Amino acid sequence: MAPNPYDWIEKSLETIHRADWYRSVQPLAGRPGPVVMVEGQPLINFASNDYLGLAGDERLVQAAIAATQALGTGTTGSRLLSGHRDLHRDLEQAIARLKQTEDAVVFSSGYLANVGAIAALVGARDLILSDQYNHSSIRSGARLSGATVLDYRHNSLDDLADLLQQHRSQHRRCLIVTDTVFSMDGDLCPLPGILALAETHEAMVLVDEAHGTGVMGDRGAGGVEHLGCSGRSLIQMGTLSKALGSLGGYVAGSAPLVDYLRNRAATWIYTTGLTPADTGAAIAALDLVEREPQRRQRLWQNVAFLQQAIADLAAQERSPFQLLPSESPILCLQVADPATAIAFSQDLRRQGLWVSAVRPPTVPTSRLRLTVMATHEPAHLEKLVFALGHL
Ligand SMILES: *Cc1c(COP(=O)(O)O)cnc(C)c1O
Tens of pLDDT along 361-379? 889 999 999 999 999 999 9
Distance between Cα 1 and ligand 1 center (Å)? 45
Q: Is the CB of 131 under 6 A from ligand 1?
A: no
Average pLDDT, integer, range 226-253 = 97
> Does the pLDDT of residue 20 top 80, yes or no?
no
**Burial class for 10, CB neighbours closer than 10 Å (0-12, 13-18, 19+):** exposed
Which residue among 48, 106, 108, 111 is best mutated to probe the pocket of ligand 1, counting the most ligand atoms within 8 A of its Cβ? Answer: 111
| Amino acid present at 130 | S
Q: What is the tens place of the pLDDT at every residue in 128-187?
A: 999 999 999 999 999 999 999 999 999 999 999 999 999 999 999 999 999 999 999 999
Mean pLDDT of the region 232-251: 98
Q: Is the pLDDT of residue 1 over 80?
A: no
The rounded Å distance from CA 111 to ligand 1 centre is 6
Segment 269-308, tens digit of pLDDT: 999 999 999 999 999 999 999 999 999 999 999 999 999 9
In this prediction, residue 2 carries a pLDDT of 85
Long-range contacts of 288-291 (CB under 8 A, 24+ apart): 288/52, 288/54, 288/57, 288/59, 289/52, 289/98, 289/214, 289/219, 289/220, 289/243, 289/244, 290/98, 290/219, 290/220
Rounded distance from Cα 115 to ligand 1 centre (Å): 11
How far apart CA 169 and CA 203 sit, in angstroms, is: 11
Is the CB of 245 within 6 Å of ligand 1?
Answer: no
Ligand 1 in reach of 249 Cβ (< 6 A): yes
Q: Cβ(210) to ligand 1 under 6 A?
A: yes
pLDDT in tens, 52-100: 999 999 999 999 999 999 999 999 999 999 999 999 999 999 999 999 9
- pTM higher than the cut 0.75: yes
User: C-alpha angle 74/79/83, rounded to 5°?
Assistant: 30
Residues 6+ apart with CB under 8 A from 337: 366
Instruction: Please tell me if the CB atom of residue 185 comes closer than 6 angstroms to any atom of ligand 1.
Output: no
**Nearest Cα residue to atom 5 of ligand 1:** 110
The per-residue pLDDT for 325 is 95
Q: Could you tell me the domains of the chain? A: 27-56+293-388 (3.90.1150.10), 58-291 (3.40.640.10)
Q: How far is the CA of 239 from the centre of ligand 1 (A)?
A: 6
Q: Which residue, judged by its Cα, is nearest atom 14 of ligand 1? A: 210
Number of the ligand 1 atom closest to the C-alpha atom of 137: 10
Q: Residue 369: CB within 6 Å of ligand 1?
A: no
The CA 349 to ligand 1 mean position distance, Å, reads 25
